[in-house]
Amino acid sequence: MEKDGANEDTKQAETTSRIAFGSCHKSDKSATPPIWETILPPPDGGDPVTPETPRHLDAWLWLGDAIYPSHRDPVTHKKYYGPAPPAEVEAHLRAMKHENATIGYKGFLDRLDHYYHSSRGFDSGGRPLITGVWDDHDFGGNDMGAKMPEKKRRQAVYREFLGSGAAGARGEQPDNPSREGMYHRVDLENGRIRILVLDTRWFREDHCIPSIAHRIPMGNAVACLTRWMTSGLLLHKYAWLWGKGNCRNAKVLGDDQWAWLENELLVESSQPSSTAAKLDPPELFVILSSVQVWSTNPIMEGWGHFPREQERLWNLLRTHYGAASPAADIGSRGSDRRAEPAPVMFLSGDVHHAEISGQPGYYEITSSGLTHHCGQHKLYGRVCKPVLDTFSAHRSGAPPSPRSGKRNKNRDKETKVASDEELDGGQGGYYIGLNFGVLEVLTGEDGGKREVLAGVKNATGHTVLEVSQALAGHGPVPVLPPYEQIAHTWDGHLIPYARGFLLWAVIGLASIRTLLKQG
């Protein structure tokens, strides 16, 4: 269903910005035709694009896993385990960008060149932006974080990849080239749309049970199991047994990135060092995180496995909206606080399906699966849908309380969801299939209501999930509850089953002992 009250305002609305985004892109897989032809269609021979005509695209945002290294020795071609060398990552990125015509990304860049070339009157600042961030695979190793070797070289390789490689687009220009990590900020509509790109790999510490996904065959399945056990049995309480200490406090962003993010959200005078002209006040913050932020799915990676970091982010949002006093580690901003806070929307990838999570003020649009999705996986494909149905409390419309482990049938009536057939088996606010995400910033007639339509489209361009959010000054300021009242990943949902199993095990052993004595 479409959001009530949105139709009349958007019928005659003008799209002022169109942002596409996606993640999880294998160079040995491709739809036919490639999904890139849906994201940016080939020329149809009609009127050429000019700076005065409606734009196909204002930005493409990578949410990680742009490539999957083969992890094979270049000489013997034998499979190896461990992080891929930067040279292998670079070779895959270069091939996708410059050589591999079948996968579609090179054609996408060529079409940007065709549509937005300088010969059509577009200067460098008026061309679509390509930016984003890496996740674990294009970082170099499944589930890896701060312990990744040669991070500086990997950073240089990925920054080069984000450069457009075509005259029809502009690449990511870091606001601080010497910074450690890929986090940065870019602005659209002269700062009214502010995109904050987080790096959830460079500084990220180990999980309570460190992942071995990159170390052994089937390591990814083992890592999923250990994350699930940690969540379901609250194993963090016993992490001291294997030397992890209080792993609830493990970090995702690191101190420098936190300071930068807090400054961007809370300080009105925040201006990137590379910007000479004064920017307009923000009307929307878009925050990119390669892993999911609010998901309660314990099997996948996400902020929920780092509860102190997730709580800190939540409290930062509440402070941004004025619902809580600044936390001790944020500090007082005094008169620098923004007079009217802009809504915050999160974009994420990684999980090989799409979904919409959260509520107004903290919506999260997850788009994952440009070339493959979880339903195609040999092992996970059989359980993908049941897992998504079971762990659903984070999705739009779900009650903000810990789940019971059963399927949550309370679905968001304000979230547009495809039919059963299109959704590939589920109406719980998720989509299993090839997909990409789109944000459309709309302005009503005569400069009326401004809002963003955030959605997910399938490989043919059909909208399968969608939600709307009014921009700053065009709707109420979101009110967020305390962190304790939202659904969490670590909730101990397996403890009742474990207790029952132990009880029956004790009864069984006692029965066997009695029978042996009688015999």
Closest to 432 measured CA to CA, from 458, 412, 397: 458
How much is the pLDDT for 8? Answer: 46
Each domain of the chain, given as residue ranges in start order, spans: 6-205+251-488
**pLDDT tier for residue 125 given thresholds of 50, 70 and 90:** low
Q: What is the number of residues in the chain?
A: 519
Query: What confidence score (pLDDT) does residue 12 get?
Result: 67
Span 151-172, pLDDT tens digits: 999 999 999 999 866 666 666 5
- Please state which of the four CATH numbers 3.40.1190.20, 3.40.50.720, 3.40.50.150, 3.60.21.10 is assigned to the domain occupying 6-205+251-488: 3.60.21.10
CA atoms within 13 A on the CB side of 474: 21
Omega cis (within 30) before 33: yes
pLDDT digits (tens, 9 = 90+) for 35-74: 999 999 887 655 566 655 556 789 999 999 999 998 888 7
C-alpha to C-alpha distance for 311 and 123, rounded to whole angstroms: 43
Provide mean pLDDT across the span 110-122. Answer: 77
Listed residue (185, 174, 138) closest to 157, CA to CA = 138
Tell me the two tokens of residue 464.
């399968």
State the pTM of this model.
Answer: 0.87
Nearest to 67 by CA among 108, 105, 109, 110: 105
Residue 274 has pLDDT above 70, yes or no: no
From 296, 344, 281, 334, select the one nearest 480 (Cα to Cα): 344
The answer to whether residues 498 and 506 touch, using CB atoms and an 8 Å cutoff, is no
Q: What is the mean pLDDT of residues 254-272?
A: 84
pLDDT of residue 277: 66
Least confident of 215-219, 220-224, 260-264: 215-219
pLDDT category at 410 given cuts 50, 70, 90 is very low
pLDDT score of 1: 35
Residue range 285-297, pLDDT digits in tens:
999 999 999 999 9
DSSP, res 79:
B
**465-505 confidence digits (pLDDT tens):** 999 999 999 999 999 999 999 999 999 999 999 999 888 98
Q: How is residue 258 written in tokens?
A: 């936190």
Residue 54 has a pLDDT of 56
Q: Look at residue 276 in the predicted model and tell me its pLDDT.
A: 53
Helices 151-162 & 86-94 angle (0-180, nearest 10): 10
**Are residues 349 and 366 in contact, defined by beta-carbon separation less than 8 angstroms?**
yes
pLDDT beyond 80 at 31: no
284-288 and 344-348 strand pairing: parallel
Q: Per residue in 302-346, pLDDT tens?
A: 999 999 999 999 999 999 999 644 443 444 444 444 568 999 999
pLDDT at position 432 over 60: yes
| pLDDT, position 147 | 96
User: What is the distance, to the nearest Å, from the Cα of residue 113 to the centroid of all Cα atoms in its chain?
Assistant: 27
Contact in structure between 67 and 100 (CB atoms under 8 Å): no
> What would the two tokens of residue 212 be?
């071995």
341: closest CA among 320, 358, 318, 319? 320
Calculate the alpha carbon distances from 369 to 111, 416, 459 in Å. 22, 19, 10
| Mean pLDDT over the full length of the chain | 83
pLDDT score at 390: 93
**pLDDT tens digits, residue range 77-102?**
888 899 999 999 999 999 988 877 67
Contact of 36 with 434, CB cutoff 8 Å: no
Cα diameter, the chain: 95
Short-list 154, 177, 329, CA closest to 253: 329
Q: 441 pLDDT exceeds 50?
A: yes
**Residue 312, pLDDT score:** 98
Quote the CA–CA distance of 313 and 319 in Å, as a whole number. Answer: 10
